Amino acid sequence: VVAFPFEDFYIDTHHITHLLERREQQMLFYLGLLAAALGIGGIRAVLCPMGAYSLQGYNQHRLLSFFNWFYWLVNLNSTVVFLGIAYIQQSVAKNLGFLIPFTSVLLALIAIHMMRNKLTYKPGKVGSLLTTLGVFLNSLRMCCFHRRHLSGDVASWLDRAKENNGGRYTETHVENVKVLAKLFPLYSLQLLYRVCITQIPSGYYIQTMNSNLHLNDLLLPMGVMNVISILPLLLLAPLMELVTTCYLSMQKTPLVPSKVIAIGHVCATLSVLLAALSELQRKSYPLVEQTLSGKVLKVSSMPCFVAPQYILLGLAEALVTPACSLISFQMTPTHLRGISLHFLTLSYGGGCFLGAFIIQLLYLLSAGNFYPDILHDGNLERFFFLLTILMALNSLAYWRISYRW
């Protein structure tokens, strides 16, 4: 909401001009951006576990069905946002594009307050986050600082936290955490995959901004490219539900979630490879002038909607995210299922930070050559080729250990 008065606007027939200096505008903008990031982080970490708490005792097919439709609804919302609000913000009024989300969040807060009694879930103490982290910290302390307690053989380093080995936690606590720890390789292997997914609002958007956004006489909003990546998920989720139901009715076993994730990782690898090839093709087209948000940019004349990499990333997301949620939920004890989904969400956030670190490192090493002011003079395709190699190795590593899940 602090971003709303950034531009001149009208109330009835009265023209209102803001008096904020440029520096004050930037401070308010980043304050609003930080508030939005904190809000989104809280919602993403809590929303899926909140819905999953009512799934105790469901079989694998019904669990996968829940996660498929859950992410389908999330992406349906995103489609409305990118087609509606992005168009309003780019073509009608930027300040109105800020005011609409503020109003919608305000209505959501009112709805959540009215339904708060039905949305409250209190897990048992055995599955609290503090207890889970305490087991890890106690095990590390016992292994590193209390070597006098290291006598005797233990099956896992986490066993050092058990009371009968000199630790502070019961055997039930530790055994539950050991099951959760088996999923950490899965979470780690999602980091590079998430780096690929974050290319949609970063590397792929840079490509799109430097391509021809005109479709005949219509200037396409940037959000349309994000919708292209969402459409495969909107189409694939019902299709996967139908195929799985048909398999079960014929008493056949559908693909296990670990193999579905492997296919998704391959799709993400192919996506960044196609992005690299697309960048080479884009640079071969002559430059034209294009006006975006009042700025005249020299961009490639290649049409932006020729973008199969968006479709492949959408396909990967439709395969990977529900299957990862299913494995995280199904493999952990009842008391730790919410925490398991929290760790999965944390790995997604970690992938965003890893992607930012890789980009910053490459920017420094290339002295800005990968991301120059005029993209036509740079070598963004080298970054995509590097990401392709890293993601291929990541996919191979996942395939080698996927039997665990």
Residue 310 Cα to chain centre, angstroms: 15
pLDDT band at 204 (very low <50, low <70, confident <90, very high): confident
Residue 92, pLDDT > 90, answer no
Q: Which tens digit of pLDDT belongs to each residue from 25-38?
A: 778 778 888 888 88
Higher pLDDT among residues 232 and 5, named by residue: 232
Cα–Cα distances in angstroms (integers) from residue 375 to residues 2, 86, 296, in the given order: 32, 24, 14
Q: Are 267 and 312 in contact (CB under 8 A)?
A: yes
The per-residue pLDDT for 118 is 73
pLDDT above 90: percentage of residues in the chain: 12
With a cut of 90, say whether residue 394 has pLDDT above it: yes
pLDDT, one tens digit per residue, over 379-391 is 888 889 999 999 9
Look up tokens 């401070």; give the residue.
27
End-to-end CA, the chain: 44
**Cα–Cα distance for residue pair 261/354, rounded to 1 Å:** 20
Give 206-256 pLDDT, tens digit per residue.
Answer: 888 888 887 777 777 666 777 777 888 888 888 888 887 787 777 777 778
Average pLDDT over residues 87-107: 75
Cα of 42 vs its chain's centroid, Å = 13
Q: Which of 4-8, 181-185, 223-227, 373-377 has the lowest mean pLDDT?
A: 4-8
The predicted structure's pLDDT at residue 154: 67
Per-residue pLDDT, 396:
94
* CATH number for region 179-404: 1.20.1250.20
Q: What residues does each domain of the chain span?
A: 1-9+20-118, 130-144+155-169, 179-404
Over residues 263-296, the pLDDT tens digits come to 999 999 999 999 999 888 888 888 888 877 667 7
Checking if the pLDDT of 192 tops 70, the result is yes
Task: Give the pLDDT band (50/70/90) at residue 6.
Answer: low
Higher pLDDT, 392 or 228: 392
* 373 pLDDT above the threshold of 90: no
Burial class (CB within 10 angstroms; exposed 0-12, middle 13-18, buried 19+) of 237: buried
What average pLDDT does the chain have? 80
